[in-house]
Chains A and B, each alone.
Chain A
């Protein structure tokens, strides 16, 4: 039986879609069978982030309305073995899908896939309710800003109310230099406020913009620091114990070397 994980945030623009694309691709690169579902009906974007926008025939609404079989709507990503996308409909709205239909769809997909990742729309209305309906686990994405943390707090409360206990937090777009000079909340600050467990920290990385421009997730770029952080998260999801990269200290090479030899660094 596969695992259904919803990626949500409340606030828009914090990186839900980028996160879904990167974790999904990373899991596929680990040899898992993965399907990504875009539930942002009317504002779909996971297709362009994945670079699969030209291959859409059927969508999520076609599937739940029985207009096509589930298999027909799944777009196979030819670059990465075992990775599939179920795109959202673009010309309908959130009410075109009901939570019961999402539960049924997730149950069906669980038979065949190791991971079903659901990209949740921003907001707390129908689209959010659809996205979380079939999920057993949740990843809450936030950034170190008051607005995003506030919305994450609200989402965590709503997830609990919908029996999705113990959501894991992903802090995106962390800038080590700003944290260091005290102009950005640190991971500890955010954890202290939200009181949830961390699944990973993604450093701000301009390679994300470049990879999105190309439609190739950053996890495939060995040089991308965000890509590395996403690969680590994928391994944590699969049950491996990977220490969380300390993006905040941003230590220079010599300090690391000195630490390695147990020398004083102060």
Chain B
């Protein structure tokens, strides 16, 4: 159902979007040179720490190893990108 909806919206009908999505996923593991378990461990540790200060949507938390331009723009450096949807900030954390 979800798939059909996105097809209707024309987002993933193009094969290039499929290619892009598949590439992004496979590169996360290629770049990390670590097991998915490793990323899961990092993820659970991050959840543990952040949860001390705010309520987060653990299901929607997305964490990946990627690459980005360094600050001086002269080289490419690995980066850990985490997208953590916050539900609310705990009072004790303020």
Contact = CB atoms under 8 A, between A and B. Distances in A.
B9 to A, nearest CB: 13
Nearest to A156: B76
B6 interface: no
B23 interface: yes
Q: Give the bracket for the number of chain A residues in contact with chain B.
A: 20 to 34
Nearest to A194: B67
B16 A185 contact: yes
Q: In terms of DSSP, what is the predominant structure of the interface of chain B?
A: helix
B27 A153 contact: yes
Q: Give the bracket for the number of chain B residues in contact with chain A.
A: 20 to 34
Interface in A105-130: none
A76 interface: no
Nearest to B33: A157
A192 B14 CA distance: 17
B52 interface: no
A166 interface: yes
Interface of A: 145-146, 149-150, 153-154, 156-157, 160, 165-166, 179, 181-186, 189, 193-196
4 nearest A-B residue pairs (beta carbon): A182-B14, A165-B75, A195-B67, A185-B16
